[in-house]
Amino acid sequence: MAEYFADVPSIPFEGPKTRNPLAFRHYNPDEEIEGQRMEDLLRFSVAYWHTFRGTGVDPFGAPTLNRPWDNGSESVENALRRVDVAFEFISKLGAPFYCFHDRDVAPDGETLKQANDNLDRIATRLKEKQDETGIKLLWGTANLFSHPRYMHGAATSCNADVFAYAAAQVKKAIEVTHELGGENYVFWGG
């Protein structure tokens, strides 16, 4: 398997005086505060959509981020590659958790069944990587805002078909979050 961050070591805690740009200055996971480890108090998770799906676009311009592992397609193969990259990156950060929207990790489909099948396939790889690295899912959620079908809302849509699709999408996202041992599920607006 390719290593995408081969030249980047694991990010250590070195304290506030370090000159190393790839070191934690203030976050020391082992430091105790009021009898608890900092890592237990500050439960950081790497947000999949910002870290691996964002393109650097703003309302007035084109995307500015080129991610060499991402071919720009909405294919299952690209999503699987993205999972490998994500867990390599999260491991080097030493973050104990990640979080995601369903459509961040898996491509949508032409039908709900295809979308669910895509999510199941990616969830299998996510579980493998969780078992391999010890990184856990803090929470999952359903993306009920990016697809044009949700232009009038999801759970608030006046269209019964859209409402039903949204409900089924949330149900599947809850199931996958549970299968992956997610510690929470977020009911995101839509």
**DSSP designation for 37:** E
Please identify which of the residues 104, 108, 117, 161 carries the catalytic annotation. 104
Pick the catalytic residue from 101, 117, 120, 147.
101
* DSSP characters over 111-175: SHHHHHHHHHHHHHHHHHHHHHH--EEEEEE---SSSGGGBTBSTT-S-HHHHHHHHHHHHHHHH
**152 catalytic per annotation:** no
**What are the C-alpha distances in Å from 73 to residues 83, 107, 119, 125, 164?**
14, 9, 16, 18, 28
- Nearest-Å Rg of the Cα atoms of the chain is 18
Active site includes 108? no
Residues known to be catalytic: 101, 104
